[in-house]
C-alpha cells in the first residue's frame, strides 16, 4: 500500500459563472506529462452565438461513478479518497462506454492513443498535498480547491452543492458546484 498525504479536509469547488474563458486551466492541465500533455479540463461555450459566457468542467468524481460502473474492463477505479481515476492504460479497451455514460461529459476518447482519458483531480499533485493545476492558475475563482471554511468565508452568498438531478436520476459527487445560498441540489433536468 502506497502512503499518500492526500488532504481529506480540502475539496474542489466549481463556480462556472465566474469562468471568463481564459483557458489558463487548460494550459496548466496540459503542462502535465502524466496526461500526455493534453488538457483534461473542458472549457465549454454556453451559447457562442448569443454570449461569450463559458463554463468549465472538471471530473465531478461521483460517489457512484457511472463511468466505472459501465466499464467492461474495470479500468476505472475509485480510491479511498473518492477520486475516480482515469482509465488504467493496461486495461482500457477504448470502447467509449464511459464517454456515453458520464452525465457531465467528462471522459473523452483520445483517438491517437486509443484510450479514454479524463481528469483525475491531479492525483499526482493532490496525493502529495498540493492543489490541482487548474485550481492554482484560475484567475477568477471559477476553480477553487481548499477547505469548506475558506470557501464559505470567500463566498458568503453561495452554498456548495454536490447533488445533481437528471430527471429521475440523482447523482452525488465529490466535487461541489457553487449555487445561490440555500440551494440543496442542482436540477439539470426536472
How many whole angstroms separate alpha carbon 5 and alpha carbon 17?
32
Strands 143-147 and 115-117: unpaired
Question: Shortest approach of another protein to residue 80 CB, angstroms?
Answer: 5
Nearest residue (CB) to another protein, 76 versus 115 = 76
| CA dihedral sign, ordered 68, 69, 73, 78 | positive
β-pairing, 10-14 vs 169-180, is parallel
60 DSSP assignment: -
Find the shortest distance in angstroms from Cβ 49 to another protein. 35
Residue 63 CA to its chain's centroid (Å): 13
For 122, the grid coordinates are 491531479
Query: Minimum distance from CB of 78 to another protein (Å)?
Result: 6
Measured from the CB atom, the residue of 50 and 74 that comes closer to another protein is 74
Cell numbers placing 190: 426536472
Smallest gap from Cβ 122 to another protein, in A, equals 17
- Min dist CB 29 to another protein, Å, is 23
| Of 126 and 158, CB closest to another protein | 126
| 85 vs 109, beta carbon nearer another protein | 85
The residues near 17 (Cβ < 8 Å, ≥ 6 apart) are 142, 178
* Shortest CB 74 distance to another protein, Å: 5
Give the nearer residue to another protein in terms of CB position, either 63 or 150: 63
Q: Provide the β-strand partners of residue 166.
A: 169, 189
Q: Is 94 left (phi over 0), alpha (psi -120 to 50) or beta?
A: left
Residues forming contacts to another protein in the complex (CB under 8 A) are 1, 64-66, 68-69, 71, 74, 76-80, 85, 165, 168-170
The nearer residue to another protein, 78 or 155, going by C-beta atoms, is 78
Amino acid at each position: 500500500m502506497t502512503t499518500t498525504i492526500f488532504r481529506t479536509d480540502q475539496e474542489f469547488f466549481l463556480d462556472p459563472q465566474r469562468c471568463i474563458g481564459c483557458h489558463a486551466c487548460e494550459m496548466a492541465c496540459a503542462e502535465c506529462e502524466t496526461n500526455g500533455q493534453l488538457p483534461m479540463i473542458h472549457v465549454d461555450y454556453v451559447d457562442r452565438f448569443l454570449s461569450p459566457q463559458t463554463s468549465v468542467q472538471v471530473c465531478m468524481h461521483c460517489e457512484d461513478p457511472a463511468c466505472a460502473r459501465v466499464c467492461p474492463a474495470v479500468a476505472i477505479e475509485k480510491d479511498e479518497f473518492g477520486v475516480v481515476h482515469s482509465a488504467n492504460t493496461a486495461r482500457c479497451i477504448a470502447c467509449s462506454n464511459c464517454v456515453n455514460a458520464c452525465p457531465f461529459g467528462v471522459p473523452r476518447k483520445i483517438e491517437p492513443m486509443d484510450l479514454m482519458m479524463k481528469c483525475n483531480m491531479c492525483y499526482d499533485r493532490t496525493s502529495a498535498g498540493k492543489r490541482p493545476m487548474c485550481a492554482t492558475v484560475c484567475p477568477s475563482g471559477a476553480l477553487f480547491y481548499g477547505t469548506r471554511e475558506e470557501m464559505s468565508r470567500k463566498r458568503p452568498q453561495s452554498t456548495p452543492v454536490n447533488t445533481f438531478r437528471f430527471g429521475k436520476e440523482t447523482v452525488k459527487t465529490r466535487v461541489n458546484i457553487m449555487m445561490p445560498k440555500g440551494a440543496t441540489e442542482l436540477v439539470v433536468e426536472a
